[in-house]
Structure 1
Amino acid sequence: MKKGSATVAQLSGFDEIIDVRSPAEFAEDHIPDAVNMPVLDDEQRARVGTIYKQVSPFEARRIGGALVAENLARHLHAHFQDKPKHWRPLVYCWRGGQRSGAFVTWLRMVGWDACQLEGGYKTFRRQVIEALDALPPTLDFRIVSGPTGSAKTRILEALAAAGAQILDLEGLAAHKGSVLGALPGIAQPTQKHFETALYEALAGFTPTQPVFVEAESRKIGRVHVPTALIEAMRAAPCITIDASREARIDFLLRDYAYLGDDVADLQFKLGCLNRIVSKETLTRWQDYAAAHDLPALFTELIDQHYDPLYKRSQNGNYQHFADAIRIRADDLTPAGITAVAGAILAHTSG
């Protein structure tokens, strides 16, 4: 390994990780905890790339070099004036080339022990893909299942508060996993960013202890659960939350109350069901939305859409669903959810 370079395995040994790619590249995905200090912004990168292809590599480097120097100077003034001499940053770009090389050169000229990541983000991404294949089979997953409204995500949070290991796929996906699952004002991550977050979570688990995870389909909103993970989940023991219909409806009314704030958006989401429910049913549900009658809407959604879908999908997708541990839940208030989590731990300990 050449002087001033580092490998992915050495990421934790640096005071700061700096991603010098463009903002768009950074937004698609980045190494966890990295900060974005682009040497070329999105417009500049596109401009230099066009010149490289249409004019010449030399002309692209001549113009790009000037832009990089300007941006480096700005970053040095804005972000590094308070860094002590012993500060040690790691810098990366797409594949450990000229962008991160220029940044590291200037930082080292100042006197900091800056290093360039060998292979850049591309090498990190390869490690993520390999780990997402290798890690799931080594973990002891326990699947928390139950029909819509069973407070499964909140139960996972209660399990975590009790010290258990959990994998919150819906939290990482920023989506509740159903046609109404989009979170208000929160965009879902890209597939790559979702996978990086998954990798970070899986790598942090202790293999000898259970990992509780909610039963999910392969797709959560617009992101997909990697194959090795969904296969490991589908082969894992199941715990079913046997919640009463009344408790589920009450929970949904609390947990999805925000849906009543934007009637047009709720009606649009309901419209996505037009291929699987009759026109008359869909019209009635959209009328409920317009009237802010969420109790009627959620009751019919549970009875006519979510419960039938659940019965079909869980039996077919999860191998041990039929012999799952069943936890009765007539109370899905915070106190009731804590009690359910305690019952799960009592049944799965040892």
Structure 2
Amino acid sequence: MNKISVEDFLKSREKNIPLIDTRTPLEFDQGNIKYAHNLPLLSNEERILIGTIYKQEGKNAAIDAGINVIAPKLGLLRDRIRSDFPQDELSIYCWRGGMRSSSMAWFMELLGKRVYVLIGGYKAYRHYVIEELSTLKLHLIVLGGRTGSGKTNILNSLKNLGEQIIDLEKLADHKGSAFGSIGSKKSVGTEEFENEIFEALRVMDLSKPIWIENESRGVGVAQIPNNIWNQMREATVVHLEIEDNDRLNNLVQDYNPVQRNELVESFEKIRKRLGHENTDQAILFVKEGNLKEAARIALEYYDKTYEFGLRKRSQEKIITVKTDEANPELIAKKIQQLGVK
């Protein structure tokens, strides 16, 4: 068994060494190290049971209970390791680099594997992530524009042109509004969100500009880290002025495949801000299939919110780009030609 630091642990991925997370499925879903495979020693319920025994009866009793739970699973674990991880080397971690990863490492070595164990486990990785995100100095350029401007598509077009980007909405699996959870696969919390941002930044050249979409502090249930949020607020903003009709068409295209009841629920979330009359009218438009007019009502609120936020920024750092072009690739080229640094 080889115990290695977080830095070396992360480098092991570059050597295509499979990464194994031995924690429970619940722990894994809350947050994990990118590219890790979940191979739990204990189920969610078993971990709770053994933790209770530890508190009530002590360490030795908990170890005995753990052995009794794990022993019947060894055959299945052996088969899965051999079938899913045929490589000679494996990297593993648990919560604190304790008994779960040590036990799994011992078992894997019996099967002929060379095993690397993360010192301090996932907890050490999280400390590392938080420290990095709190101290990084980034050269951010914020891509702004009213709702429906197609900023995410333009951001990805900038990436295709060779620019570095952070797609916060993709990392959070949320579009950043009351309608943002529509179509999301799961709710990404702040912990996993921070991990994703850290991993995205690891492969970037931090001396060069990084484009990032203008967002509220919260993207879904996840929060943008303080240090990055503060740098976003101080960064140059490229503010897009897109034709209203193009914005409405973008929104209709984005939400047309969506179940109507999801749109109704989203309008209900902003009823107090839209007002009862506007909300009722928007919901009626949704039920009638007139998404363009429903979107027009939503934009009355979101445009005011965006403009309020824009006014709070340093006006000297706002570059306005007006265009009657609807193609995100062409808009991205126009933005790139500005040579914003």
The answer to whether TM tops 0.5 is yes
Give the match for residue 104 of structure 1.
105
The alignment partner of 2:271 has SS state of coil
| Structure-2 change in CA distance of 1:72 and 1:116 (3 Å) | farther
Contact 1:39 1:72 in 2 (8 A): no
| Structure-2 change in CA distance of 1:79 and 1:110 (3 Å) | closer
Give the aligned residue type for 1:327. V
Whole-Å separation in 1 of the counterparts to 2:323 and 2:42: 55
| Structure-2 change in CA distance of 1:4 and 1:212 (3 Å) | same
What TM-score comes out, normalization by structure 2 length? Answer: 0.94
Specify which of 303, 306, 325 is matched with residue 319 of structure 2.
325
Write out aligned runs for 1:122-161 (5 A). 122-135=123-136, 138-161=137-160
Percentage of pairs with the same residue? 29
Deviation sequence 1:168-220 (CA, Å, 0-9, x none): 00110111111111132521212111110010112222122211111111011
Give the aligned residue type for 1:225. I
Deviation sequence 1:90-117 (CA, Å, 0-9, x none): 1111001111111111222333211221
Deviation sequence 1:111-143 (CA, Å, 0-9, x none): 3211221100000000010011112xx221111
Deviation sequence 1:223-257 (CA, Å, 0-9, x none): 11111001001111111111111111111111222
Whole-Å separation in 2 of the counterparts to 1:325 and 1:154: 19
Give the match for residue 5 of structure 2.
7
The alignment partner of 1:144 has SS state of strand
Give the aligned residue type for 1:306. Y
What TM-score comes out, normalization by structure 1 length? Answer: 0.91
Q: What residue ranges of structure 1 are gaps of 5+ in the alignment? A: none
Q: Is 1:340 aligned with 2:331? A: yes
Write out aligned runs for 1:190-201 (5 A). 190-201=189-200
Give the aligned residue type for 1:339. L
Whole-Å separation in 1 of the counterparts to 2:102 and 2:184: 38
Whole-Å separation in 2 of the counterparts to 1:108 and 1:173: 37
Write out aligned runs for 1:1-350 (5 A). 4-11=2-9, 12-13=11-12, 15-80=17-82, 87-135=88-136, 138-259=137-258, 262-302=259-299, 304-316=300-312, 318-320=313-315, 323-332=317-326, 336-348=327-339
Q: What residue ranges of structure 2 are gaps of 5+ in the alignment? A: none
Shift in Å, 1:18: 0.8
Whole-Å separation in 1 of the counterparts to 2:307 and 2:264: 26
Whole-Å separation in 2 of the counterparts to 1:108 and 1:7: 20
Whole-Å separation in 2 of the counterparts to 1:73 and 1:319: 63
Whole-Å separation in 1 of the counterparts to 2:317 and 2:145: 13
| Structure-2 change in CA distance of 1:186 and 1:180 (3 Å) | same
Whole-Å separation in 1 of the counterparts to 2:195 and 2:177: 23
Whole-Å separation in 1 of the counterparts to 2:98 and 2:269: 45
Give the aligned residue type for 2:104. F
| Structure-2 change in CA distance of 1:82 and 1:17 (3 Å) | closer
Give the aligned residue type for 1:238. V
Give the aligned residue type for 2:149. S
* Aligned residue pair count: 337
Whole-Å separation in 2 of the counterparts to 1:312 and 1:166: 25
For the aligned residues, what is the CA RMSD? 1.8
The alignment partner of 1:275 has SS state of helix
Give the aligned residue type for 2:201. L
The alignment partner of 1:114 has SS state of strand
Contact 1:38 1:71 in 2 (8 A): no
Whole-Å separation in 2 of the counterparts to 1:16 and 1:38: 15
Give the aligned residue type for 1:221. G
Give the aligned residue type for 1:125. R
